[in-house]
Structure formats: structure tokens, C-alpha cells
């Protein structure tokens, strides 16, 4: 994990399922629509991802949702997606207004997509390679 050995120092980190085609497309979407290149990325399956999962009490094979690490707090599912939307250009940044919706409501929709994402969109054999112009933002 090298320079990223202090998880508490990481901020604005998106953890995604690296073998999920939908998740990889979502990361590409974020990269294409981000305002200020503030986000960092790592697959859940990476050593860093597994360490973060472990430190936050999740199993190291967790792939149930996208996660967002900010100020040593880990957000999951729709809450993570809405937090990430804050970093996007308009109109996508408006997603953050849904943070006021209780998670038990917004996660209903999230869970339907998450449960079916492999069936609907497929899987890859390996984690995606980061685009050359964003390589430094992918921590592992």
C-alpha cells in the first residue's frame, strides 16, 4: 500500500467493484463529468480496498455496493453515490440533494440495480486499467 498506508489520511476515495462492467462504466462516467479531479479510486478487490473494508468492519470480499471514504467515514450504497455526485458538474451534482432522502428509501432502488448488475451488464475477468490521463488517481 506504500504511501497510502494511513487510511485515516485518505479523503474522497471511491471504492468500486473492479470486475463489474456497470461499476467500471460508472467510474468512467464520474471521470468524464467530474469538476475538479478531486476524487481518487481503488477497486474493492485491491489490497487497499480490502484493508479499508477490514478497518470498517466489512468482509474483505464485500462487493455489495460502491463505497465512498471521506474524512475517515465510509458511506455505502445510495449515500455513497449521492456524496460522489457533489464532485460532478451540473446537472449531475444535483444528486446530492437526495442526501435528505432516508437511506431505507433510496437504497430500495440502489439494491435492485446492485442485485442485478452482473446479470444485466456482465462481468470482466480483471479490474479495469485506469485511463492514462487519470492513472495517478487510481491508488491501486
Give per-10-residue mean pLDDT for the chain (140 aa). Answer: 61 95 94 94 95 94 95 95 97 94 93 92 82 85
- Indicate yes or no: pTM above 0.85: yes
CA distance 89 to 91: 6
Q: Where are the domains of the chain?
A: 2-129
Amino acid at each position: 500500500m506504500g504511501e497510502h498506508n494511513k487510511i485515516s489520511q485518505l479523503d474522497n476515495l471511491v471504492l468500486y467493484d473492479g470486475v463489474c462492467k456497470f461499476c467500471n462504466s460508472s467510474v468512467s462516467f464520474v471521470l468524464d463529468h467530474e469538476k475538479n479531479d478531486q476524487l481518487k479510486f481503488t477497486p474493492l478487490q485491491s489490497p487497499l480496498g480490502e484493508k479499508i473494508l477490514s478497518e470498517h468492519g466489512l468482509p474483505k470480499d464485500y462487493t455489495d455496493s460502491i463505497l465512498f471514504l471521506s474524512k475517515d467515514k465510509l458511506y455505502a450504497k445510495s449515500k455513497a453515490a449521492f456524496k460522489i455526485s457533489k464532485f460532478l458538474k451540473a446537472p449531475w451534482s444535483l444528486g446530492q440533494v437526495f442526501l435528505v432522502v432516508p437511506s431505507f428509501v433510496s437504497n430500495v432502488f440502489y439494491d435492485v440495480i446492485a442485485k442485478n448488475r452482473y446479470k444485466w451488464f456482465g462481468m470482466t475477468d480483471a479490474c479495469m486499467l485506469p485511463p492514462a490521463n487519470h492513472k495517478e488517481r487510481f491508488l491501486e
